[in-house]
Amino acid sequence: MRYLYLLFIFSFLAGPISAQVLVEPLTPFDFATNFRDVYVDDSGNGWAVGTCNVLARTTNNGDDWEFLAAPEGLDFDVVACEPGTDCQTVFLGIDGFVFRSTDGGENWTSTEIEYSSGREFHFLEGDVIMLSHNESGYLRSTDGGDTWTATQLDFYYRDRLHFPTPTTGYLYQQGGPLLKSTDAGATWDSIYQFESSAYYGSWLTEDIGFMYDQSRHIFKSTDGGSNWTLVTDTGVPSNIRYLEALSETHLVAYVFPSSIFSSMDGGVTWSNNEGVGQSLENGQFGLRFEGIHRLGNSFWLASWGTEILYSTDALETATSQFPAPRPSLEKVAFPTDDVGYALQERVGMMKTTDGGNNWTQVTNDFFTVSRDFLVLDEETVIIPYNSSGPQITEDGGDTWSALFPEDIQDTTYVFHIEQLPGGRLYLYGSVHGAYSDDGGDTWDVVYHGLGGFPRSMLFVDDQNGFVGSDGGRINATTDGGQTWTQIIDGDFSTQPIANLFALNSTTIMNTVSGTTRCSSDGGLTWSTDACGGVTAPGEVIVGPDGTYYSGRLFPSQQDLLTNLQRSLDGGLTWESIAGFCTYAIPGAVTPNNRYLYVYQSAGFLGRVDLDAIVSTETPADITAAKVYPNPTSGLLQVELPEQASTAHLSLYNLQGQLVQQQAASSNTASMDLSNLPAGMYLLRVQGEGWLQSARVMVSNR
């Protein structure tokens, strides 16, 4: 049994900011993080770091994890223990800083130095420590971490540094020569120039090494990198992000985002390991590995989705450190304020009947593979595609039946579904479309043969519709889906067209790779100018009152707490309203405009209380309130802006629950927090026409 000791502590955020609230996590846990790195030594002591200022410690090889206060409330990228210290001496890395503790995390010292995107600490001969990072450089300390020196290279590198011995090291440069050091990284020599950019590699000894290049080739060296032999240029997985040689014949590779491949013949042939990533026995999907730590033939993997995996068999299988079903969520819908559905990848649906407080698994006897569904009312739901064809329930999920007649149920494969303004039900697949004008009693099948996997479908009226698919392709119909024509084939992007949106009856919009484009000629041409000033961070959903909601699919770490945004003027301007420690995208707004439901991969489902959001327009003469001491173990002092004489103070915990509130009728108010558990809280200071927020840390007594 693994236990979670939740002692989250966040950093202080002063000054006026947007009137944000926290996303309230609903599943699979009441907390979330993107684990960034993990390190466990051979005695079973270790650490893990992630977003949400998570710093976790284990003393029993991951059976239990204790969540502690991260130094200065930061989100760290990399963690490692100095060998031979039982992880009492631990190093943390974050952009611009290296932190060190020599007493098991009780106290920390920091060194400020310019770098970003740390990858791995390396403990070398003597007191030499190096930190590789995903820029054109590295950090090096010769005094055990007291001081650090930054070195810049001429070329960028994707991989970590490699030190098969305490003195011999290798560095693969993208487009540049292979570098070799024989003096623990003090100096480097160029020893080989690859024809194609070197990406990732591994070294068994100072003589034997492997390399995976930009062209998906595997190379091997047996003389310390002076010469390289092509192992294979066929059958190598794409998107390899980590390569490790366990012997000259046994290689393993992490393939983005969540697959593990292995080779038992020195890299010539590769096969997918069935026990890791997408094939975990507890139904986890959508994991994205961030940090991988090897200990002999054992591996620790830090992943998005609040997950750490542990493998003792060279990544053939892996065990979850935080067991829970985590199927990726694909879509959310609320036909009423109380009844809602969430579609899960491969395992069907979840349902709530109490406004989202509790969710249960909907019973079905078919295997679901779908990214879309349609809710007609609180009892009637259609899932477009699964191994038995599209299915329908008319009793809220208690029973399911085939949607199509028997003669087309097993031959017409469809993936997306929409209901046209006039009532027509339309389902679209890679080869066929199917529609019904009588509520599903009879169906007409359309052959279009355009191929591709549809990612989004939109009908602006009963005649004109569009489908976005992989490869930046868009198909269109002008006759209600009876015929389809490909009108865009990667013209402005090769990314999937996953968020087609109608601005009005004549203009459709798509946001991909951070750029919003529109078309006013039936999708034939697209430009930013055609949007009339409208933009969007990503996919847009519209609330019952016409408010737009959106969020970036993969925001930067710095933007997680401000990612969820809304527009009150049809997309002309956007304001941040909420965020959390991991990315989440808007899924649905309840009919009463009370809750915005958000979701992401690996099973995360949360909600935002829209009633808690007020206008973010702060009067120009309102200065910042002051909050101190922070952290605090007792009284918290709140000084109101000079121009304000009254305010209302509200304190929320990590789950978005109100834990304390009071009125402030003078310039200074005191809040007694001595009875609260240690952790992070969000303080909202609201006056007439203004709102300010701060993150408050309550420390241990």
How far lies 484's CA from each of 89, 450, 576, in Å? Answer: 64, 8, 39
What region does 225 belong to: left with phi over 0, alpha with psi -120 to 50, or beta?
left
Q: What is the pLDDT of residues 469-517, one digit of tens each?
A: 999 999 999 999 999 999 999 999 899 999 999 999 899 999 998 899 9
Give the pLDDT score at 619: 55
Give the pLDDT score at 560: 65
Phi, psi (deg, nearest 5) at residue 390: -65, 145
Give the pLDDT score at 9: 29
Give the pLDDT score at 8: 30
> Taking 50 as the threshold, does the pLDDT of residue 414 lie above it?
yes
Nearest in space to 91 (alpha carbons), one of 71, 65, 67: 71
Torsion (CA) 265, 266, 268, 274 in degrees, nearest 10? 70
Give the pLDDT score at 701: 56
Proportion of the chain above pLDDT 70, given as a percent: 90
> d(Cα 651, Cα 653) in Å, to the nearest integer?
7
> d(Cα 658, Cα 9) in Å, to the nearest integer?
17
Q: What is the pLDDT of residues 332-355, one digit of tens each?
A: 999 999 999 999 877 788 999 999
- Higher-confidence position of 604 and 478: 478
> Taking 60 as the threshold, does the pLDDT of residue 278 lie above it?
no
Give the pLDDT score at 271: 93
> Taking 70 as the threshold, does the pLDDT of residue 283 lie above it?
no
Identity at 568, one-letter amino acid code: L
Nearest in space to 427 (alpha carbons), one of 377, 379, 471, 484: 484
Average pLDDT over residues 396-406: 94
Q: Which two tokens stand for residue 246?
A: 């366990």
Q: What is the pLDDT of residues 318-328, one digit of tens each?
A: 888 988 777 77
Phi, psi (deg, nearest 5) at residue 262: -135, 155
For the chain, how are helix, strand and coil distributed in percent, rounded to 5? 5, 40, 55
Give the pLDDT score at 322: 87
Q: Does pTM surpass 0.85? A: no
Q: Please spell the DSSP secondary structure of 190-254, one letter per residue.
A: EEE--SS-EEEEEESSSS-EEEEETTS-EEEESSTTS--EEEESSSPPSSEEEEEESSSS-EEEE
Q: What is the pLDDT of residues 556-581, one digit of tens each?
A: 666 666 788 999 999 999 988 887 77
Q: Which two tokens stand for residue 406?
A: 């028997």
Q: What is the pLDDT of residues 142-188, one digit of tens each?
A: 999 999 999 999 999 999 999 999 999 999 999 999 999 999 999 99
> d(Cα 343, Cα 333) in Å, to the nearest integer?
9
Q: What is the pLDDT of residues 415-447, one digit of tens each?
A: 999 999 999 999 999 999 999 999 999 999 999
> d(Cα 132, Cα 77) in Å, to the nearest integer?
12
User: pLDDT-based confidence at 463, cuts 50/70/90?
Assistant: very high
> Taking 90 as the threshold, does the pLDDT of residue 16 lie above it?
no
Domains of the chain: 404-533 (2.130.10.10), 626-698 (2.60.40.3080)
Give the pLDDT score at 655: 52
Give the pLDDT score at 13: 33
Q: What is the pLDDT of residues 87-113, one digit of tens each?
A: 999 999 999 999 999 999 999 999 999
H/E segment holding residue 109: strand 109-112
Torsion (CA) 69, 694, 582, 322 in degrees, nearest 10? 40
Average pLDDT over residues 250-257: 93
Proportion of the chain above pLDDT 90, given as a percent: 62
Average pLDDT over residues 349-362: 92
- Higher-confidence position of 187 and 288: 187
How far lies 247's CA from each of 23, 33, 259, 270, 547, in Å? Answer: 46, 34, 21, 15, 58
- Higher-confidence position of 656 and 57: 57
Average pLDDT over residues 132-144: 91
> Taking 60 as the threshold, does the pLDDT of residue 282 lie above it?
no
Contact 28, 603 (CB under 8 A): yes
Give the pLDDT score at 229: 98
Question: Among 253-262, 480-489, 675-684, which is the least confidently predicted range?
Answer: 675-684
Mean pLDDT of the chain: 87
